[in-house]
Each structure stands twice: as C-alpha cells, then as structure tokens.
Amino acid sequence: MTVSTSKVWPNGVSVPLVTPFKADDSVDYDAIGRQAVRLVQAKVGVVLLGTNGEASHLSPSERKQVVVSARKALDAAGFPNEPLLVGTGGGSAATTIEITKEAAAAGATHAIVITPGYFSFAMGRDRQAILGFFKQVMDVSPIPVMIYNFPGAAAGIDLNSDELVELANHPNCFGAKLTCAMIGKGQRLAAHVQSPAYLAEHGQFLSGITETGQFQVLPGFSESLLPALLAKHTGCITGTGNVFPKTMRRLYEQSVAGLKGDSVALAEALELQDRVARSDFIIVKAGIQGTKHALDHFVAPGLGGAARSPLGPCSDAVKKMVEDELAEDWAFEQSL
C-alpha cells in the first residue's frame, strides 16, 4: 500500500511510554498526555502501546483512547507535527491489521509490530509463516510499519538478519527495533538499507516517512547507544528515557558529534554511556513496575501509576533500589 505522512520520524532517541493506571485500574489518560508532552519537550520521540505500555493489558477502546489522548495533548501544547509511533501487534495478521487501521484513525503516524508469540510452538520454526505475517500486515497498513524484534516478548521467536533484510525490502517498511541486544545483527541490516542500491529503490518512500530519509535501525536499549551508532544504527528506543529523556538526548547528540570527529564530544559521550549503561540496567532490573515507581518518585506522583494484573505491585525492595541507585542520575537529569 502507498502511504504518506506529514509527520516524519526523526533519527535519535525515542521512548516507549508506560501506561499509567489509577487505583481503580482505569487508564489515566491525562497522565499519558502530560508524559508525552514532557518527552517531546526533551526532544525525544514518543512511542505508545509497546511493551512498557502494557498494550496487551488494554482493551481495543483503551488502546484507541491512549493514542487520541497523546495526540490531543501534543497538539494543544504546540506540537501538531510530532509523529506518534504506536504498537499495533496482535495475535493474528487480521487482528494486527484491524488494530493498525484503528490506531491510524486515532492519530498514529507510524506503527511498530511485534511477532505474535502465542503459537510459537506451532509456527516458531515456520520462518515463511512469520515473514508472511509481517508482509500481510505491511501490504495493507495505512501507515508505515517498523518491525519489532523482541524474542523475550514473542515466546523466543528471534528474527535473524537475513529475515530482517527481506522484510526491509517491503515498500511499506521503514525500520526495525532490535530488542534482541545484537548490534552485529543491526549492523548487517544497516549495511543493507544504507547501500546505494537499496536507497535507489526505497529512498523516495523513506524521504517522506523519516526526517533523514534513512531506514531506522534501533536497538531497544540505551546501554549500547554509542557502540550502536558506530555500527550504523540511527538511534534507539529506550524505556529508561521515560525517566531520563534529557540524558538520553545528550548522549545521542554527543555521540553523533564525537563520531563525526569532535574529540571533546566523544569524551563526554563515553562518560555519558557509562552513566546510561548503569541506569539502564537498574531500570531493566526494576521492570515496568519499577519504571513506573521511578516516574512517580522522581518526576510527578501518578505519572507512572500502577501496573495491571498479572503484573504485580512494585516491591519495597525494588522501590528502594530505584530511589537509592537512581538518585544521582536524576540530579544529573535535572541539571540538563
């Protein structure tokens, strides 16, 4: 399907928002809007309804309203051209297509789709079935699609670089998020999508979809942002950016400048990468519940909110770890 969007996707850091729930288990749509505006003001991109956003815990109407709420908040805050990358994965191709169309109607400009994992025991080794799923979705999606490769959330299904290259050749694919922690896989994909032959075929499409006209190759962790940029990646999508968006943006900017030859910027980027590698791992250990607690504790009460069952409450031990071990990182964030 031929697609277009006036809201192009930038290179750099983007953040998968958590979905805050109130004490009565309802979605706090106002908090979603406030966090979306906060992140855009920090000059990072907004990703809705991903793993951190507990998309699988939301009803279809809730998923739609999350997108509507973020779009309205950004428009009201003076960011009408800010793109929204929205998770639209479902258990089947048909469901994913339906969710993607609904998200586009609600204000999504780009979609990110994860491999469905429920039937991994039946289709995990049927690689053509997996590729067929993505192609079927991309064939009819009204907005450009990013592949989301996260084996941990897809029952172990892990796309390899050959498969990612094949999917990248689809005319409605604009990127891949690689939460498989394999920079070499990303470099092989980046080498393909940044080649003159690829750009000759796909460059016109990408120039209307992304700010730089590049296919997006993004690690799912900020702990490896600097080495990933060296390996031809174009940024990252980081849950840790929920709490520290300015730090992540600074790391990206100084890394880019350093890799272009600015030795002072590179020295700062190396120091920042040490900081981020540490804080990123603390957030990973804390999980979604701990990320939400960090938002409530450091940024504003209710901005993170509760998680939905079957995710349990944030334990006292995790709360203490977050409060103690991220305090200095929060002070640094506030200094930027």
What residues are labeled active site? Answer: 177
Do the beta carbons of residue 66 and residue 92 sit within 8 Å?
Answer: no
| CA atoms of 299 and 313, how far apart (whole Å) | 19
The SS3 call for residue 9 is strand
Instruction: Return all residues near 200 (Cβ < 8 A) that are at least 6 apart.
Output: none
Residue 193 parent element (H or E): helix 183-193
| CA atoms of 38 and 40, how far apart (whole Å) | 6
Residue 145 parent element (H or E): strand 145-149
**Owner of token pair 């896989």:** 185
DSSP 49-97: SSTTTTGGGS-HHHHHHHHHHHHHHHHHTT-TT--EEEE---SSHHHHH
CA 8 to chain centre: 15
CA–CA distances in Å: residue 182 to residues 21, 144, 150, 216, 296: 33, 24, 11, 15, 32
DSSP 10-45: PSEEEEE----B-TTS-B-HHHHHHHHHHHHHTT-E
Do the beta carbons of residue 103 and residue 144 sit within 8 Å?
Answer: no
CA–CA distances in Å: residue 9 to residues 16, 83, 89, 171: 14, 6, 19, 16
